[in-house]
Amino acid sequence: MEENEMEKRILSSAKELFLKHGFDAVSTTQIARNAGCNQALVHYYYRTKQRLLERILQEETATVFEFFSAMPHDDTPFEEKIAKMIDIHFSFLENNPAIPIFLFGEMRNNPWIFKNFQVFLKEKTSCILDELQKEIDKESASGKTKAMDAFDLMLDIISLDAFAFMAKPFTDIWEFSEEQKKDFLARRKQHIKQILLAALMPTGEEQSERQKQTKKSQCTD
């Protein structure tokens, strides 16, 4: 077996066990056994459990950020861009439904684990937030949307999307079938789009004030 293949198997094994049992409950011995290798190889490739977790978090979130970074900077309507961002993040969570509960649980129980990951996260999000802010400012200046901080919008997308999956213990009470679960998530995604797009729309008062400013500017000219 090639080295990089074994490295991937160890990473996959760790992800599976961390999500199922939590970081503290998993040992490198268990990770090695699940990956079909000895413990020495786990330490050879990753040295510690913390580094394994950091690598998992970086790889998983990098996928989402790559999609966000690839968002078109063209004349695509702003509403469509926001809807696409929601689609991308929601799709990631559908493929990794255990991650939200795991992340929030570990951030509460082991905040020190995320110190290095926070640096990585800030580096990845800075450029995305800068571009998103430019889009918001452009739309706001034309009166199509209200002024908003890009960080607030990004946080709204992430938190609303994530809660649809964090609510699993509650939705399990109704014993949804697989088809019903898919329907529930589809409804939630559509609802999130409606909430956020409505939040971006200027209020009647804001629109009226903008019209007054426009008329005043025209009279001055």
pLDDT per residue as tens, the chain (221 positions): 555 899 999 999 999 999 999 999 999 999 999 999 999 999 999 999 999 998 998 888 887 777 677 666 667 899 999 998 999 899 999 999 999 999 888 888 888 877 778 888 888 888 889 989 999 999 999 989 999 999 999 999 999 999 999 988 888 898 889 999 999 999 999 999 999 999 999 877 666 666 666 566 666 65
At residue 203, the pLDDT reads 79
At residue 71, the pLDDT reads 66
Q: 53-203 belongs to which CATH class?
A: mainly alpha
Q: 1-47 belongs to which CATH class?
A: mainly alpha
At residue 208, the pLDDT reads 65
Where do the CATH 1.10.357.10 domains begin and end in the chain? 53-203
At residue 218, the pLDDT reads 60
Where do the CATH 1.10.10.60 domains begin and end in the chain? 1-47
Sign, CA dihedral 56-179-196-130, equals positive
Q: How does DSSP assign 188-202, residue by residue?
A: HHHHHHHHHHHHHSP
Torsion, Cα of 137, 140, 141, 147 (10° steps): -70
* Tokens 């991650």 found at: 99
Q: Do 41 and 6 contact (CB within 8 A), yes or no?
A: yes
